[in-house]
Structures are given as C-alpha cells and as structure tokens.
Chains A and B, each alone.
Chain A
Amino acid sequence: MAADDSFSHCTDAELWPILVAGRVEAFNELFRRYAERLLSYLQSFTRQPQDAEDLLQDLWMKLLESLSRDQQPENLRQPENLRAWLFQVAKNHAIDWTRRRKRRGGEQTLGDGHDSRAPESIDFERLDQAWATCLSALPPEFQEVLRADLSDISVADQAQRFNVAVGTIYTRRSRGRELLRECIEGKMSN
C-alpha cells in the first residue's frame, strides 16, 4: 500500500488523532506499518493462512467501523499504546476464533485466555510420529549428529563429543538431514 510520505514519519501517537479525524492516509500508514506483523502474529495462532487473513481483515474492518461511528476503539486510552492495543485485539480475536472453532468441532470448551499456539494439532501428532519413526530408522551416528546439530552445538564440540573428525560431522549432518527429510516429507504427504 502506498502510504503518504508525510505520515510515514509520524509516531503512532501522532497518527491516532489524524486517524480519528478520518484521514485515510493515516489509516493507510497504520496498515502499512502493522499489517504484515499482525498477519504473522495471527498465523501463529491459526496455523492456517486463510484463517489468519480472515482474522486480519476482520480486525481492520472493526477498526474502520469504530472510526466511522466516530468512536475511539474501546480500551484505547493512550495513543502511545496503539501498537500494543492492536496486538492485544489481534490476540483476543485469535483466541475467540480458536474457541469457536473448537466448539464447532465438538471439542471441550476452552477456558478464557487459552493460547492456541501450543502444538496440539493433528498435523503435530503426525509429525511427531513421522519424526520418531524416521529418526530411529537412521544409523545411530546420524541421529546423534542431528540432535546435537539442532540444539546449536558447534561442529567442533560435536567432533569432540563423538570423537570423529570435523569433516565427518559435516558429512553425517548433510546425509542425515537428507535422509530424514525424505522420510518425513514422504510420510506427511501420504
């Protein structure tokens, strides 16, 4: 979205009264400033791109509607808190969405404040199974290196720990990742 350059230097606090006054450039600037971050944030909750986009749209539409009624959005007392407020609204929105989805799916109703970012999806269970199966199918020396690798243990430390040359670690890492990827992606695509 092309934003008016004269607003790009405004702080959120400066932007807010302009936005409330109905200047679309201020809305554009706010959207430009936060839409990408909000979408990333929402997708951490929804895990589905389409749902995250729906929630983002809804969020901005609600803001527009609030502005069109000449009412400042509830709970926004200090313009300096605009960024935090947007993310809090997004989070509440995402939590409500999760709750509705769970109810529709016949699952137990979640308590207030449930954070849907916890790994709990069916895909997670499948991934967990695929990972365990595929990793255990690898030669033990590959398993060791991959686990150490993904824990950010340096190659030198790994070489020392496993009593092999550094070059061997590189080879095991590369081959191990390749085998593991093939195996897991194969299982997940079935």
Chain B
Amino acid sequence: MILIALDMPTEPVELRQWLERQLVGLDLHQLVDELAVIHGPQTTNPSLEEALGTELPVVLNGGLSQLPTPPLRTLLTHPQLLFELQERAFIDGGEHWNRVPRGPELSAAVERVQERIFQSDRIGSTPQTPPRSQSSPARPQPNSRRALIWLIPIATAAGIALFLLRPSVPDWGWEKPGVLTAGRTAAEHYLALEQAAGEFDRVTLNRPADLERRLREFRHACDALIEAPHATLSASGRQQLVDRCRLWAKKIDGHVADLKSGEKSIDQVRLDAQATVEALRRFLRDEAAKAAA
C-alpha cells in the first residue's frame, strides 16, 4: 500500500490541482480513508452544498482553482464530501472536469473493459456461438482483427456491429507483426524499432480525432514494447529501453491531454508529438550505433 495523503502538496495552487486529479482518478476511496483517519471523527456533518455554499456552482463549472481555503479545508477534514463532489462533478460538472489529467492506469483499465465487452460470452452465448478466438484475451494480437470476422453475424444479430468496439490493431509502428521481435542482433533490433517509430506521421493527421487515435496507438505500442522480450538485447539494454519507453509513454499521454484539453492547437500538439518521436528515434539510432560498434 502506498499512502496518497502524504503526497498532498502544500502549495495552494498545486494542492487544488492535485485534488482535482484525485477526484477523477481511481484512488479517491483510498484518499478518503486516509483523510478520515488523519482528521478523525468530526462533530459536524455538512452537506456538499453547506460546505461549499455559493462556491459549488463555481467548482462544478471551473474546478477547484478558485476555491477559497476555508471550504477547501472543510473538504479535507470531512473527506466523505469528496465522494459527493466527485459525483456532482461527473454528472453536473462542466468541460473543465473533462480536461483534468487522468493517469494512464485509468485508460488502461478502460481498454481492458472494452476488450472484455468485445469478448463477452454473453454476446457469444447465442446458438451461433463460434469457437473462441485463440488470441490473447488481454491484448489484441497483430492479425487478430481478421480472425474476428466470425463475430459479425452475432453482432448483427445483436443489432449493433460490436466488432467495431474493439480498438483496431495498427498496421504501423511497433505493434505491426514482427517488429518487436525483429533483428538478429541488438543493432538490427534497435533499427527495426526506429524505423517502425518513424511511421508515426506517415499519414495525414490534420483532424484532432485522427491525431488522438494515432497517439493512442503509439501509446498502446509503448506498452507492447515494454512487455516484449527484446531477446537480442542485454539485460541492461532491455532495462534502459523499457525505462525510456516509460518516459515516452508519459510524453504521449501529455500530448493526448493537450489535444483533449484544447489548450494547444492541433498543429502544436502534432509538432510536439513529432518532436517526441524524433527524440526516441534518435535514441534508438544511437543505441543501434553503440551496439554495432
């Protein structure tokens, strides 16, 4: 167990931003437990309306940044109110709450659910049930989309083309068949990864939805790269690659967040993303050169 409350920033601006992230994240229950322990039983039990008063609509619309200290303190000392605030922000909150950065673990969890909806036995339990796919239930395999055509009649019978719920398997980058196992030597392996990464802007990415999809595919491929064996690399080389990929993944998450928040133009996000891709390609080229030397 990692304590969350002890990471609470003390600077006012940071604290409010941090609390917003907790409100939209996956560990609010733990923070509430910790704060309840820290502050102990309270003599009063105000409702959210009482605690925030006229600030409530402001918070729902624009977040916690303008919330004065006294009501913020009430939220922290009566942490059950955070659950109420989470609920209200999700149901009645403005666009601000969509822009609060969410951790990659939340996206990953949602992707898992999406995958399971696709593979659900309930849809497949009709008389038309075909044999289950042999592909991994946890991750889409490079050529699995073609193997999933059997689902179409079932999906049609269900009145909805469920097969489309599955994220498409990219035909580019590190998740393209064979890329993650490419190369007989470390240098070849690095170069194969470098070339595959270079396919990022092979297509036009002028629409936010296209760029977001491309970034998410890249992000997904980062996870695949982290999990891959990289058999031609030494243990330290593999670890270095994995560490780098975690950094790249964070950067890509940042680009997606920038795009979704609208705080940066699509052109700027695309440029930022291209810079990230170029930096990681440079790293891979350098490592290839070192390995070949």
Contacts and interface: CB of A to CB of B under 8 A. Distances in A.
Interface of A: 1-5, 8, 22, 24-25, 27-28, 31, 35-41, 43-44, 47, 49, 52-53, 56-57, 60-61, 64-65, 67-70, 83-84, 87, 91, 115, 117-119, 121, 123-124, 127-128, 131-132, 147, 149-155, 173, 177, 180-181, 184-185, 188-189
Interface residues of B, number: 67
Interface stretch (B68-76, B131-139, B231-239, B279-287): B68-76
Contacts of A52: 26, 109
Contacts of A127: 1, 33-34, 37
Interface string B19-38: 00000111111101111111
A60 B113 contact: yes
Count chain B CB atoms within 10 A of each CB in A3, A60, A152, A180 and give the residue with the most. A152
Nearest to A115: B83
B120 A57 contact: yes
Given A35-B110, A131-B38, A1 B158 contact: no
B117 A150 contact: no
A28 B164 contact: yes
B209 A3 contact: yes
Contacts of B1: 123, 127, 185, 188-189
B62 interface: no
> What are the nearest 4 A-B pairs in CB distance?
A5-B209, A68-B159, A68-B158, A2-B213
B7 to A, nearest CB: 9
A49 B30 CA distance: 12
Judged by DSSP, the binding face of A is helix
Interface string B230-260: 0000000000000000000000000000000
Interface of B: 1-3, 5-6, 8, 10, 12, 15, 24-30, 32-39, 69, 72-73, 76-77, 80, 83, 86-87, 90-92, 102, 106-107, 109-114, 116-117, 120, 122-123, 157-162, 164-165, 167-168, 207-210, 212-213, 216
Contacts of A35: 110, 113-114
